[in-house]
A and B are shown apart, each in its own frame.
Chain A
Amino acid sequence: MSAEQRAGGNGETPGGELVTAAGAPVLGSDPFADAGGPDPLDAWLDALDQLAARGHAADDGAADGEAPGPGLREEPARTPSEEATATAVEPTPQVGDAELPAEFRRLGRLVGEAPARRLAALVGRLEGYDRFGLSRTALQQAFPLFYALYRLYFRVQSSGHEHLPQGPALLVANHGGLLPFDGAMAVLDVLLNTDPPRLPRAIVDRWAGTLPFVNVFFARVGQVVGTHENLARLLADGEAVLVFPEGVEGIRKPVTQRYRLQRFHVGFIEHALRARAPIVPMAIVGSDDQAPILFDVKPLARLLGLPTAPITPTFPWLGPLGLLPYPVRYRILYGEPIRFHERFAARAAEDPSLVRALAGQVRRSVQGLIDKSR
């Protein structure tokens, strides 16, 4: 692996062909195709493969299109009631049976063929950096970690994927849990359960854009700072956009308010009406349990310029480690799309009282899904 490839996933072919920012060659072959030389990760994967060979043999017969990777085992069998309320963690197996591209084979061995094939299908459509900073290289690198969190740590169960529409859509969810793992899990769940795979673009607070490292990571994995221009552009591009209308109030609500939706910001309704996009209400259950806030020291937060200064059972007593989420089970439920644009013209977005009323309707819908899922 060349230094150029290590640094940014970009490099050149030995013949001196031109390679773009994406690594997609302008005048030559794929620079990522040959890493060159043995890779320690490959050796480690080989060893894991051998250890897990017996488990795989059993899975091969049962799994419908997905073979879990050696490090990521299938979750234990669920109770019938769990199956009834939330099912289908396994991705839909319709991405295609084509051979996994070479650059995804290692990922396939790590997380399983089906998720890797989904990611390959998604990033195959990307080139370089999009206008919001999304990078295919960063997605490929971040995917195994978040997939492990999805399958092993939060053990996400989800249902209602049939309500996810094609084309532009606003996914409206509740927010909670100090750190935005709910957003990450929702994004991954949509990616794993739509065909063709879609990467919903999560809208994040402007404050996140000022944080060193965080701003770069968020941008590279597809999250977008919430401005009206960005939201309008995303919907115009036909993207699915994940919004948390509670905003920061959602993640800093105390444990006594858990799963009680806070006041909704209403801008998303205006954009849904203007872009003629359906709204898909979502309930994410588990996020409010991952870091229950006992008390929010608001004066300290103001002093430090932070959105919240929480006290949880583990923070600040365990230092930064206390911020890590508890391994709670996530349940994600998608509701039926609400198509305001079929009832109202785009100019209805100019009517504040109507917009507020519609936002209230979406809020009640999300709250109903939460109550149903708990």
Chain B
Amino acid sequence: MANVLVTHADLPLGRRIVKVLWHDPAVQRVVALGEGPVPRAFGTYRIGASPRLVYERIDLARQRTVADFFKSRRLRSLEVDSAVYVPRHGAAPEGPPLVAKVPARTAEARLLLHHAIESRAIKSLVALGSAFVYKLAPGNANQLTERSELHLDPEVAAEIRSWIDCDMLFQAEVASRRLRVVLLRLPTVVASGGYVYLNPALSGPAGPRVRPLGFDPLCPVIADKDVARAVCAALRSRAAGVFNVSGRELLPLSMLGRWTRRPCLPVPGPLLRAAAAGAARLGRETLHSALDGPHLRYGMSLDTRRASRDLGFEPRYRIGVTRAGDGVMRLEAVAG
């Protein structure tokens, strides 16, 4: 890996990955793509006549703009040989539905994969997926390996369906000879300060959430810094395929919500189901997946032995809470 392209670099996970890659001596240049303006955090990285960080503003869900970018002289001159697909997450807008109501996340994954395969220069693609694609059986003890069944039932919420679609798109290319594809299935990602990403129950801004009364599923978590390290490990490795990646901690949903300023209020299950059905009927898919689904009832833990063996990735950061200067309890990730 010499020149690495990173999508959604303006979002928190993308920013973190860009920073870690920028500090990696094996990386010559980072090409960061984002929909918004240049993040302020990148200011110090873009100094000089030939900065190691290049930021391009681009709507990754639009076929025309993505095609233009990948065929541009500009990209050829940057000599990108690896790409990192960071999905839309956090407080990013949902984006308008595209052709045949394909969600923005799926459209972006499809476009990036297509152009990465078409481009002869890009040799490796590391994609971030979600562990919420797995089908969860009743109980808290779902030991999920990379071979576990995906949740392909028709009643699955559209948001989770989009994760599954992305997952299957990348999975279809893991045996490709032209492109080395690594798909990292991530559990809930947390960051110091109480931020949380990629959890359908806790997505969006801070504030109260709901969970079914009498259920408190176990959620594996990983620090954003460990996600960036896993991406680096995947870029360095020669392995291709699907890998579960997770931190050491498992937290009940109630505790995770409390630590991330999203307290989960227990509500009787039938009420939640009715509300979720209403949200789905109104097209509020994010709300639908936040109100109902197996991920709110049944816990899981990820078997990460494959990532450890083939990518050499071991989590480094511990997740905990600490009292911040303003007296508020904040989630913290500390190397240890």
A residues contacting B by CB (< 8 A) are: 4, 7-8, 10-12, 16-21, 25-27, 128-133, 206-216, 219, 224-225, 227, 229-230, 233
Contacts and interface: CB of A to CB of B under 8 A. Distances in A.
A128 B140 contact: no
A233 B143 contact: yes
Contacts of B251: 21, 128-129
B301 A131 contact: yes
B329 A210 contact: no
B329 A12 contact: yes
B186 interface: no
B325 to A, nearest CB: 8
B250 A12 contact: no
A295 to B, nearest CB: 28
Given A219-B139, A219-B218, A21 B298 contact: no
B334 A8 contact: no
A8 B329 contact: no
A224 B141 contact: yes
Contacts of B254: 8
Contacts of B301: 131-132
Nearest to A12: B323
Nearest to B335: A26
Given A133-B218, A216-B215, A10 B141 contact: no
B318 A212 contact: no
Given A20-B318, A215-B215, A219-B299, A26 B336 contact: yes
A192 B212 CA distance: 36
30 contacts: A12-B329, A17-B322, A18-B321, A18-B332, A20-B319, A21-B249, A21-B255, A21-B319, A21-B320, A128-B249, A128-B250, A131-B141, A131-B301, A132-B301, A133-B299, A206-B138, A208-B138, A209-B138, A211-B214, A215-B140, A215-B215, A215-B297, A216-B215, A219-B140, A219-B141, A219-B218, A224-B139, A225-B139, A227-B137, A230-B141
B213 interface: yes
Contact of A12 (B140, B215, B321): B321
B269 A212 contact: yes
A261 to B, nearest CB: 26
B252 interface: yes
- Chain B: number of interface residues, binned into ranges: 35 or more
B323 A129 contact: no
**Residue of B137, B321, B324 most packed against chain A (CB within 10 A):** B321
B258 interface: yes
A304 B175 CA distance: 48
A18 B139 contact: no
Interface in B92-116: none
B10 interface: no
Interface string B304-326: 00000000000000111111100
B226 interface: no
B179 to A, nearest CB: 32
B159 interface: no
B216 interface: yes
B140 A8 contact: no
Contacts of A131: 141, 143, 250, 301
A224 B142 CA distance: 10
A19 B320 contact: yes
Interface of B: 137-141, 143, 145, 212-216, 218, 249-252, 254-255, 258, 269, 297-299, 301, 318-324, 329, 332, 334, 336
Nearest to B138: A209
Contact of A133 (B140, B269, B318, B324): B140
Given A209-B138, A219-B139, A229-B143, A18 B334 contact: yes
Nearest to B333: A18
Given A10-B321, A19-B321, A129-B252, A215 B329 contact: no
Contacts of A210: 138, 297
A219 B334 CA distance: 28
B212 to A, nearest CB: 7
Contact of A209 (B298, B324, B329): B298
Contacts of B139: 206, 208-209, 215, 219, 224-225, 227
A219 B216 CA distance: 10
Contacts of A132: 140-141, 301
8 shortest interchain CB distances as A-B pairs = A212-B214, A209-B139, A225-B139, A209-B138, A219-B140, A133-B140, A131-B301, A18-B320
A21 B138 contact: no
B140 A4 contact: no
A10 B138 CA distance: 27
Nearest to A232: B143
Contacts of A4: 321, 329
Contacts of B140: 132-133, 209, 215-216, 219, 225
A212 B299 contact: no
B250 A129 contact: yes
Given A4-B329, A210-B138, A16 B218 contact: no
Nearest to A229: B143
Contact of B138 (A17, A18, A129, A215): A215
B123 to A, nearest CB: 35
B216 A216 contact: yes
B328 to A, nearest CB: 11
Contacts of B138: 206-210, 215, 225
A132 B141 CA distance: 5
Contacts of B250: 21, 128-131, 133
A16 B322 CA distance: 5
For A209, A214, A227, which residue has the most chain B Cβ atoms within 10 angstroms? A209
Given A8-B255, A225-B138, A26 B318 contact: yes
A324 B14 CA distance: 56
Task: Tell me which of B215, B323, B324, B334 has the highest count of chain A C-beta atoms within 10 A of its own C-beta.
Answer: B323
A227 B137 CA distance: 9
A16 B323 contact: yes
A18 B252 CA distance: 18
A10 B323 CA distance: 12
Contacts of B143: 131, 229-230, 233
